[in-house]
Homo-oligomer: A and B are copies of this chain.
Amino acid sequence: MDRKADADYDCTFLDDAVTDGRVTHKESIREQYATDESPHSGHVPDAVVWPASADEVCAVLSAANDRGVPVTPRSGGSGLEGNAIPSAGGIVLSTAEIDHVEISPEDMQVTVGAGVVYDDLNERLASHGLRFAPGISSGNVATIGGMVATNASGFNAVRYGETRDHVRRLKVVTADGRIVECGKGVVKTSAGYSLKDLFVGSEGTLGVVTEVTLGLVGIPEYRKAALVTFPSRVAASGAVADAIGSALVPGAIEFIDTTAIKMLNAYHDEVSFEEHPTLIIELHANNSGIEEDLAFAKAICEDHGMLSWKAAGKANLEDIWQARRDKYPATQSYRDDWEVALVGDVVVPISRYPDIVEEVSQASEELNLMTSCVGHAGDGNLHFTSLVDPDDEEMVGRAHELNERVVRKAIALGGTSTGEHGIGIGKRQFMNEEHGQAIDLMRSIKETFDPNGIMNPGKVLPDA
């Protein structure tokens, strides 16, 4: 942690901005908002505020903007790149209290406050046979506002798309306190600049999203899944590339390397995976034709020399996914004295998926690191995680070197430095490399929307 409790800014003005005492200046509470789930250094904010409406967000931002006080919006705090760390001090603005839910089943859409938790939303939607579909690992914590901020996605993006693909309308409060509606609750529109798409993925650096209208999908009537093992990483990742390139549209297709399998086995009693490179393939459909797709998927796996194909029944499918969702804690607890250095998150064109999987493996070997890989493989998305001794600076440095090397390789392969975790603090160093001159345009937008630079400073854009 950079610092303890010396205030950077006087934030007593917040007491007038929100009602019911939804603000704190207490050190013990402020300290809880210094970090997120990332390994990046925390920073204790000077105040934490929980506005309950767009109007209260407006009051907070207007006052902060007038005084030049930094504001870091925060949702579930499950970010992995320091997206919600108040690096410059000032205010943490939590959207947790903005949690209304209005379901329009006949329009397959829902309007929610930014503070609604992903899993809670899907629980409420289930009785309507509907679902908000990206399928993230941290759904028990992550909120819709946070998902919009980082354009989050996960297991099911391969079929249903990222958060962006579901956002139809946003209510946003700008740095100077304007409350703006972007987009409409309709399937499509060509009416001017798509401001909503500008706010999606902007990580609270352009404004605070307070309300979101999301398109929903039907819960599929049929789900079929299989655990498939392969003799090598290349074989498994090649099967993925082939399946996607053959226009199969799975509900999920997840890659887990042998090291990750060992970690999941050690962490969970409910499931025991064979210790080989593995795919979880899940198909969704509303009719019995799903059996034909399953046979097609199996044939592709056979072409790639699969070792085993184990159908996952209804009974154990949730256990399997829960095990996979617990990959992060499973890794954290794999060695008592070591911890996760960082969670890699690159995407490449699907045909290059085997290449990026191999790059991680080779670099990890060269750097003498214990690295595990999982990935939403159907999107070309790979996560890699090195376990390190946190007291061994040199070893931590090697883990960062691995990340840099893999990100540079992903960019060289035509890919991106982050598929779903966002830029935050951790990926700023790659922004120039990934975007080139486009950075200047991003910077000009930032200056236009937030001329005083109060919105989540130190995130997304690299230093000029």
Query: Chain A interface (Cβ within 8 Å of chain B)?
Result: 104-109, 129-130, 150-153, 157-158, 161-162, 164-165, 174, 178-182, 184-195, 197-198, 200-202, 206, 217-219, 241, 244-248, 285-293, 296, 347-351, 379-381, 414-423, 427, 430-431, 434-442, 444-449, 460-461
Residues of B within 8 A of A194 (CB): 151, 164, 197-198, 200-201
Q: What are some 23 contacts across the A-B interface (CB < 8 A)?
A: A106-B241, A106-B350, A107-B349, A107-B350, A108-B244, A109-B349, A129-B247, A151-B194, A153-B188, A158-B187, A162-B188, A178-B437, A179-B437, A180-B441, A184-B347, A186-B347, A186-B415, A186-B416, A191-B434, A192-B201, A192-B439, A287-B289, A288-B292
- Nearest CB of B to A37, in Å: 15
Contacts A194-B197, A195-B441, A438-B181 given; does A420 touch B188 at CB 8 Å: yes
CA distance A295 to B194 in the complex (A): 38
CA distance A184 to B414 in the complex (A): 7
CA distance A446 to B192 in the complex (A): 11
Residues of B within 8 A of A438 (CB): 180-182, 195
CA distance A422 to B191 in the complex (A): 6
Contacts A191-B416, A286-B293 given; does A107 touch B185 at CB 8 Å: no
Residues of B within 8 A of A447 (CB): 448
Residues of B within 8 A of A248 (CB): 286
Whether B423 pairs with A192 at a CB distance below 8 angstroms is: yes
Contact of A422 among B190, B286, B437 (CB under 8 A): B190
Whether A247 pairs with B286 at a CB distance below 8 angstroms is: yes
Contact of A107 among B152, B198, B290, B351 (CB under 8 A): B351
Most buried by B among A192, A414, A460: A192
Contact of A108 among B165, B197, B350, B449 (CB under 8 A): B350
Q: Please give me the 7 A-B residue pairs with the lowest Cβ-Cβ distance, nearest first.
A: A289-B289, A218-B247, A287-B289, A197-B197, A287-B292, A189-B416, A106-B351
Residues of B within 8 A of A108 (CB): 244-245, 247, 350
Whether B437 pairs with A448 at a CB distance below 8 angstroms is: no
